[in-house]
Amino acid sequence: MEQLAEVQYDGIEPNKEYDELINKVINECFKTEGLDKLKLYISITLTVPEVIQEANKKYRNIDKPTDVLSFPMFEKQEIEYMLKNGYEVEDVLGDLIISIPKVKEQAVEYGHSFERELAYMIVHGFYHLMGFDHMEENDKKEMREKEDAVLNKLGITRD
């Protein structure tokens, strides 16, 4: 399996199972969106609430922890252009920061597995890096459909 995610740990121990799940999910995201033809990768930091809260405050002026933060390097139109015309430069699509304790908490809250919640955070963050959001109902619907399609292909369900 190609390594399309560069995983770092900040405040938590490295975990081989996390790395494997992340790469499996990111590879499917890239394949689904045709990015596997480009020389892009994603930087992912797995961390604790204090670190993600600090980043949330610094970059979004929101002084509270969250589950995932996404920092895209390209606009949606730029990605569409790269897909249409090719992009030969190895580059980062963007950065994700994910709070592992928050993932564990939400898995319990929503009544599904930790694996499913982490996979969802990865897919959700990926689509933010692709320029999708969920502020408007139509945009939210489109983003959810894309997220569900990737998770369903991987057999990662809410059960």
pLDDT at residue number 136: 77
Token couple for 5: 């995610």
Residue 2 pLDDT > 80: no
Q: pLDDT over 70 for what percent of the chain?
A: 97
Digit-coded pLDDT (tens) for 34-86: 998 888 999 999 999 999 999 999 999 999 999 999 999 999 999 999 999 98
For residue 159, name the pLDDT band (cuts at 50, 70, 90).
Answer: low
pLDDT at residue number 58: 96
CB 69 within 8 Å of CB 56: yes
Residues 6+ apart with CB under 8 A from 68: 96, 97, 98, 99, 121, 124, 125
Q: Which domains does the chain have, with CATH numbers?
A: 5-154 (3.40.390.30)
pLDDT at residue number 20: 95
pLDDT at residue number 124: 96
Digit-coded pLDDT (tens) for 84-97: 998 788 899 999 99
Residue 1 pLDDT > 70: no
pLDDT at residue number 137: 75
Q: Cα torsion at 126, 38, 27, 46 (round to 10°)? A: -50
Question: In sequence order, what DSSP letters do the residues of 76-104 get, joined into one string?
Answer: HHHHHHHHHH---S-EEEEEEEEEHHHHH
CB 55 within 8 Å of CB 10: no
